């Protein structure tokens, strides 16, 4: 009889310890968003291209809002190759032109019309993983200099955290130009 009590006690203790550790290791949504912010701002430097500069520093009103719609874009010319020039960059450091055409850092804020508001987590993760527009392999490839080859190696947990954080930032209305081909026309 005493033995049974002892086994019962040990079992309860064991279950208690498992539950306590389980609860501790489950990250709260807050922690996930914080981690996403850390990855975006400190590790992956998404704002380096997606937050346009106003002069020498970032434009604080345009955090991750992409190349400003009212600013001109650089236009590459193949004759520049003779001078070893392969990339032109707009003064905001958010539009890029080269032998691939012209690309514009997109609006990563959750604005419904001009940002990622209508995107799903799956579209976001697949676009980072496959390097194809909106994560659909039938779509065009994402243009340079978006470093998809590197971000594709992030863990699911990290990409999910980035997505969770992007959903929380201030929506900014900014209609970024579609990519242009080498003749300066929309793709
Ligand atoms: C070196 C510059 C650079 C950095 C750093 C950068 N991006 Fe980009 N990103 C771009 C450019 C340019 C485009 C537009 C490419 C295009 O439209 O084909 C883009 C496009 C995107 C797109 C749209 C992809 C699609 O399917 O059309 C997403 C989403 C995105 N970036 C997220 C991020 C995130 C998140 C980070 C940080 C983890 C990041 N970017 C860092 C330059 C950059």
pLDDT digits (tens, 9 = 90+) for 108-137: 999 999 999 999 999 999 999 999 999 999
Mean pLDDT of 89-108: 98
39 φ, ψ (degrees, to nearest 5)? -65, -45
| Stretch 149-174: mean pLDDT | 98
Say if residue 17's pLDDT is above 90. no
Residue 2 confidence (pLDDT) above 80: no
User: Which residue's CA lies nearest to atom 15 of ligand 1?
Assistant: 143
Other Cβ atoms within 10 Å of 15 Cβ, number: 10
Residue 64 backbone zone (phi > 0: left; psi -120 to 50: alpha; other: beta): left
- How far away, in angstroms, is 22 Cα from ligand 1 center? 36
146, 155, 159, best to mutate for ligand 1 pocket (most atoms within 8 Å of CB): 146
- 9 has a pLDDT exceeding 90: no
Rounded to 10 degrees, the C-alpha dihedral 48/172/38/29 comes to -160
Q: Does residue 12 register a pLDDT over 90?
A: no
Question: Rounded to whole angstroms, how far apart are CA atoms 160 and 35?
Answer: 10
Ligand 1 centroid vs 106 CA: distance in angstroms?
6
- Higher-confidence residue: 3 or 173? 173
Which residue's alpha carbon is at the smallest distance from atom 13 of ligand 1?
105
**Alpha carbon of 31 to ligand 1 centroid (Å):** 24
For residues 176-186, give the mean pLDDT.
94
Residue 151 C-alpha to ligand 1 middle, in angstroms?
10
The confidence score (pLDDT) of residue 8 equals: 65
pLDDT at 23: 57
Average pLDDT, the chain: 92
Half-sphere exposure of 85 (CA within 13 A, CB side): 12
Give the residue, by CA position, lying nearest to ligand 1 atom 24: 133
């Amino acid at each position: 009889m005493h033995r049974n009590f002892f086994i019962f006690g040990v079992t309860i203790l064991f279950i208690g310890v498992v539950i306590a550790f389980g609860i501790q290791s489950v990250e709260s949504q807050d922690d996930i968003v914080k981690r996403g912010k850390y990855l975006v701002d400190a590790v992956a430097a998404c704002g380096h291209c997606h937050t346009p500069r106003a002069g020498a520093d970032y434009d604080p009103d345009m955090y991750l809002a992409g190349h400003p719609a009212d600013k001109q874009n650089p236009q590459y010319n193949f004759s520049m190759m003779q001078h070893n020039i392969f990339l032109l960059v707009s003064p905001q450091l958010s539009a890029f032109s080269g032998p691939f055409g012209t690309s514009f850092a997109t609006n990563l804020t959750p604005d419904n019309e001009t940002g990622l508001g209508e995107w799903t987590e799956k579209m976001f993760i697949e676009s980072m993983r496959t390097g194809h527009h909106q994560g659909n392999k039938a779509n065009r490839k994402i243009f340079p200099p978006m470093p998809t080859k590197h971000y594709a190696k992030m863990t699911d947990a990290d990409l999910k955290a980035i997505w969770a954080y992007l959903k929380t930032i201030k929506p900014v209305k900014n209609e970024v130009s579609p990519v242009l081909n080498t003749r300066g026309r929309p793709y």
